[in-house]
């Protein structure tokens, strides 16, 4: 472990256990980032090839979605071997090259651990389903049918239908919160917890700097298998599942969010603490209690370092009132914790399309996220302003979209390949036919095209990230004085004697903000920041920010 720490420091990554606080993390969906071997699927060496570009953004770390051995029923989120690389992505040696290259560029590497479930092709499950008496018989969630042969309770799968599937070998049902081919591990069994902690050690020993923990609140289930209560229609929220999915009809009181989860997170945190400067960010998948869980899981030193919920990943339009509502709720239930904000990722419609953002609005919202208290996740391609791609049904790969088509088109529209060149049919992603088609609309937004256009969104992202990095109050400071005045949201960020005022007009009409009391100097001109008017107010154009430093 000391050798790993020495290796990081020898490559420009200083020991800093607090590096994650306020960090900007760039998410890479490896299937769609860069294909290095010409098979139409992105891979680890493709990421290595594009490392100079990633570093040029000014981000602190990368998060790589799963690349482990998998039958790919859910594109890597169904793991059949936690400690190896799927051949389509490369080899363990390729991963070592990736780690080495990232560290040489000053980038930390976080990998996506899917601990709540495995593939049904994982050797653990193959043994578990073989009998009720073998050594791993209790490693998954098995239950007898009701006397009439029906499922043990009313729990539903996120991907539609019952969360239980009959297995003829054991003549029992097993739990799957996602696809039938993704059986849930039994976290009530300490051997399961120990095995998953060993997985973390395997990757920490290879030099990773942390983890993104998939569906972190799904780990532990109610041991009594009690029915979930119904959720009234007025309380249903589409942030986790589309409207047409019956999953929205329940309050998932017993199938997830169990208090015992905190004990496992403490155990997992203890493993990370044995290594130098490691951090984890958890994905909280809950439409009703997401921020409360974020607060619970990141409070103190026994949980994960940071979590993100779905408040800003939901369909609900981003307005000043919505931002104020979410930040107020965070202050109420997670003031002692740490959020990690994201507007887009591999599971939701890209935010340019989801919120119908104009070019000015696209610039404004990245300025906003860089000024929020918390860390930030950026999803590949959002720095190019990519909209959701329109994928024909014949080209769909996502089982979620295939199941609910056409009312819900799935997640493929945000997973199409990255566009590096405009004059290439596949956008410079691959010389072969890509696993998903490259959107022709995306070609006009390629990296190559934007690099040579000073006014391009890509450069605004770089400026916004650099601005955050150079002001400690934005990276790590407290958030105070939150106000919403019509379409204008404002607040102050405070850290060790530095105080920054931020206001943003989140509309197409002019807006006004009150200039704070005291002596202030306008900053952020490179981000289109407005200054005070002669009347002592800040007059904001459509989607214009105002940023000032207290003197």
For residue 237, the 8-state DSSP code is -
For residue 225, the 8-state DSSP code is -
* Band of pLDDT at residue 4, cut at 50, 70 and 90: low
Give the DSSP letter string of 490-528: EEEEEETTEEEEEEEE-SSS-EEEEPPSS-EEEE-GGGT
Looking at residue 12, its pLDDT comes to: 66
* Band of pLDDT at residue 124, cut at 50, 70 and 90: very high
Active site residue 214: yes
Looking at residue 3, its pLDDT comes to: 61
CA distances in angstroms from 184 to 114, 165, 170, 173, listed in the order given: 11, 11, 16, 11
Angstrom distance (rounded) from CA 169 to CA 371: 55
The per-residue pLDDT of the chain, averaged, comes to 96
Q: Write out pLDDT tens, residues 290-332.
A: 999 999 999 999 999 999 999 999 999 999 999 999 999 999 9
Name the nearest CA neighbour of 23 among 368, 244, 339, 343. 339
CB atoms within 10 A of CB 431: 14
Q: What percent of the chain has pLDDT over 90?
A: 92
3-state secondary structure of 172: strand
Looking at residue 10, its pLDDT comes to: 53
Angstrom distance (rounded) from CA 55 to CA 51: 6
Q: Write out pLDDT tens, residues 352-411.
A: 999 999 999 999 999 999 999 999 999 999 999 999 999 999 999 999 999 999 999 999
Q: Write out pLDDT tens, residues 443-502.
A: 999 999 999 999 999 999 999 999 999 999 999 999 999 999 999 999 999 999 999 999
Q: For the residues 87-109, what does the mean pLDDT come to?
A: 98
Beta-bridge partners for 283 = 308
Angstrom distance (rounded) from CA 426 to CA 33: 12
Q: For the residues 137-151, what does the mean pLDDT come to?
A: 98
Q: What percent of the chain has pLDDT over 70?
A: 98
Ramachandran quadrant class, 167 (left: phi over 0; alpha: psi -120 to 50; beta: rest): beta
Q: How far is CA 239 from the centre of its chain?
A: 14
Angstrom distance (rounded) from CA 81 to CA 67: 10
Angstrom distance (rounded) from CA 399 to CA 411: 9
3-state secondary structure of 290: helix
Looking at residue 2, its pLDDT comes to: 55
CA distances in angstroms from 154 to 249, 452, 528, listed in the order given: 11, 56, 53
Q: For the residues 44-48, what does the mean pLDDT come to?
A: 98
Active site residue 283: yes
Angstrom distance (rounded) from CA 194 to CA 199: 9
What is the radius of gyration, based on Cα positions, of the chain?
A: 23
Name the nearest CA neighbour of 350 among 19, 92, 29, 21. 29
* Tokens representing residue 414 in the block: 């945000």
Q: For the residues 99-104, what does the mean pLDDT come to?
A: 98
Angstrom distance (rounded) from CA 119 to CA 114: 10
Q: Which domains does the chain have, with CATH numbers?
A: 2-120+187-468 (3.20.20.80), 477-550 (2.60.40.1180)
Q: For the residues 139-164, what does the mean pLDDT come to?
A: 97
Looking at residue 535, its pLDDT comes to: 82
Do the bridges between strand 520-523 and strand 545-550 make them parallel or antiparallel, or are there none, so unpaired?
Answer: antiparallel
Write the secondary structure of 203-268 as one string of H (helix), E (strand) and C (coil).
HHHCCCCEEEECCHHHCCCCCCCCCCCECCHHHCCCCCCCCCCHHHHECCCCCCCCCCHHHHHHHH
- Tokens 């918390």 correspond to what residue? 374
Looking at residue 234, its pLDDT comes to: 87
> Is the model's pLDDT at 11 over the cut of 70?
no
- Tokens 């998410």 correspond to what residue? 27
Write the secondary structure of 314-341 as one string of H (helix), E (strand) and C (coil).
CCCCCCHHHHHHHHHHHHHHCCCCCEEE
Q: Write out pLDDT tens, residues 409-449.
A: 999 999 999 999 999 999 999 999 999 999 999 999 999 99
> Is the model's pLDDT at 41 over the cut of 80?
yes
> Is the model's pLDDT at 1 over the cut of 50?
no
Given 283, 347, 412, 499, the catalytic residue:
283
Q: Write out pLDDT tens, residues 65-77.
A: 999 999 999 999 9
Name the nearest CA neighbour of 351 among 338, 340, 364. 364
Residue 322 sits at φ, ψ, to 5 deg, of: -65, -45
Ramachandran quadrant class, 142 (left: phi over 0; alpha: psi -120 to 50; beta: rest): beta
Given 86, 112, 214, 412, the catalytic residue:
214
Name the nearest CA neighbour of 274 among 344, 330, 206, 204. 204
């Amino acid at each position: 472990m000391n050798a790993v720490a020495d290796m990081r420091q020898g490559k420009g990554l200083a020991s800093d256990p607090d590096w994650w606080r306020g960090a900007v993390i760039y998410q890479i969906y490896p299937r769609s980032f860069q294909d290095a071997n010409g098979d139409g699927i992105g891979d680890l060496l493709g990421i290595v090839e594009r490392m100079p570009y990633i570093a040029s953004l000014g981000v602190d770390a990368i998060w790589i979605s799963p690349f482990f051995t998998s039958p790919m029923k859910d594109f890597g989120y169904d793991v059949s071997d936690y400690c190896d690389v799927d051949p389509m992505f490369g080899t363990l040696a390729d991963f070592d090259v990736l780690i080495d290259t990232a560290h040489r560029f000053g980038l930390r590497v976080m990998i996506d651990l899917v601990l709540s479930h495995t593939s049904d092709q994982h050797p653990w499950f193959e043994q578990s389903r073989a009998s009720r008496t073998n050594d791993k018989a209790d490693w998954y969630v098995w239950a007898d049918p009701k006397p009439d042969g029906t499922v043990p309770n009313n729990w539903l799968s996120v991907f539609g239908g019952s969360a239980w599937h009959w297995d003829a070998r054991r003549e029992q049902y097993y739990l799957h919160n996602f696809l039938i081919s993704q059986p849930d591990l039994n976290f009530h069994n300490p051997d399961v917890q120990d095995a998953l902690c060993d997985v973390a050690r395997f990757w920490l020993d290879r030099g990773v700097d942390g983890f993104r923990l998939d569906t972190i609140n799904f780990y532990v289930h109610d041991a009594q298998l009690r029915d979930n209560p119904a959720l009234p229609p007025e309380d249903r929220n589409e942030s986790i599942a589309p409207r047409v999915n019956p999953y929205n009809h329940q309050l998932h009181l017993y199938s997830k969010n169990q208090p015992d989860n905190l004990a496992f997170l403490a155990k997992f945190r203890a493993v990370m603490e044995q290594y130098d400067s490691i951090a984890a960010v958890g994905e909280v998948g809950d439409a009703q209690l997401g921020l409360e869980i974020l607060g619970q899981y990141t409070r103190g030193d026994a949980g994960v370092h940071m979590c993100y919920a779905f408040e800003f990943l939901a369909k609900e339009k981003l307005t000043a009132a919505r931002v104020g509502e979410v930040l107020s709720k965070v202050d109420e239930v997670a003031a002692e914790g740490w959020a990690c904000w994201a507007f887009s990722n591999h599971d939701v419609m890209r935010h340019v399309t989801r919120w119908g953002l104009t070019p000015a609005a696209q610039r404004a919202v990245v300025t906003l996220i860089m000024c929020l208290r918390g860390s930030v996740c950026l999803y590949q391609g959002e720095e190019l302003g990519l909209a959701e791609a329109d994928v024909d049904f014949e080209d769909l790969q996502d089982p979620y979209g295939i199941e609910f088509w056409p009312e819900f088109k799935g997640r493929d529209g945000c997973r199409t390949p990255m566009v590096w060149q405009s004059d290439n049919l596949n956008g410079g992603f691959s010389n072969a036919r890509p696993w998903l088609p490259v959107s022709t609309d995306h070609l006009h937004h390629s990296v190559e095209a934007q690099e040579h256009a000073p006014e391009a969104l890509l450069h605004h992202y770089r400026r916004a990230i650099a601005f955050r990095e150079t002001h400690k109050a934005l990276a790590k400071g407290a958030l105070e004085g939150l106000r919403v005045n019509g379409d204008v949201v404002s607040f102050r960020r405070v850290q060790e004697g530095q105080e920054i005022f931020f206001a943003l007009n989140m509309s197409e009409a002019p807006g006004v903000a009150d200039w704070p009391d005291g002596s202030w100097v306008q900053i952020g001109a490179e981000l289109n920041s407005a200054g005070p008017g002669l009347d002592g107010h800040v007059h904001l154009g459509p989607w214009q920010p105002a940023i000032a430093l207290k003197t």
